[in-house]
Amino acid sequence: ETGVTQSPTHLIKTRGQQVTLRCSSQSGHNTVSWYQQALGQGPQFIFQYYREEENGRGNFPPRFSGLQFPNYSSELNVNALELDDSALYLCASSLKTGSGIQYFGAGTRLSVL
């Protein structure tokens, strides 16, 4: 186990709704990255947070937003859900001044109906 925990494990929403996903980092890690993994695809980078500030962002619209808290846990918020947002959302924690190795949680499976 990586020590990265995500909640909830599964979620069903309808189009237009908003969702918040949560991630608890591995102890001692100060960087959190979020990825979207569509069925049959590799993870796609959404954004990364370091010390509560966004440290990089992928090609996702502004309705995808995030937060990192002082204890390095993190949230991913998605507004105005679309059917194509259905995917596995993965959180990965790492140590910015370390090797850069990212440790992934098991993910949250989001279904948008």
Partner 1 sequence: GENVEQHPSTLSVQEGDSAVIKCTYSDSASNYFPWYKQELGKGPQLIIDIRSNVGEKKDQRIAVTLNKTAKHFSLHITETQPEDSAVYFCAASPGSGGSYIPTFGRGTSLIVHP
C-beta of 48: minimal distance to partner 1 in Å?
6
| Token digits of residue 20 | 């918040």
Judged by CB under 8 A, the chain residues 5 through 44 that form the site for partner 1 are: 31, 33, 40-44
Contact between residue 39 and residue 54 where contact means Cβ atoms under 8 Å apart = no
C-beta of 42: minimal distance to partner 1 in Å?
3
Q: Which is nearer to partner 1, 16 or 98 (CB)?
A: 98
SS3 per-residue string spanning 50-107: ECCEEEEECCCCCCEEEEECCCCCEEEEECCCCHHHCEEEEEEEECCCCCCCCEECCC
- 62 touches partner 1 by CB under 8 A: no
Q: Which is nearer to partner 1, 15 or 57 (CB)?
A: 57
C-beta of 77: minimal distance to partner 1 in Å?
20
Applying CB under 8 A, the residues found at the interface with partner 1 are 2, 4, 31, 33, 40-45, 48, 50, 55-56, 58, 90, 92, 94-107
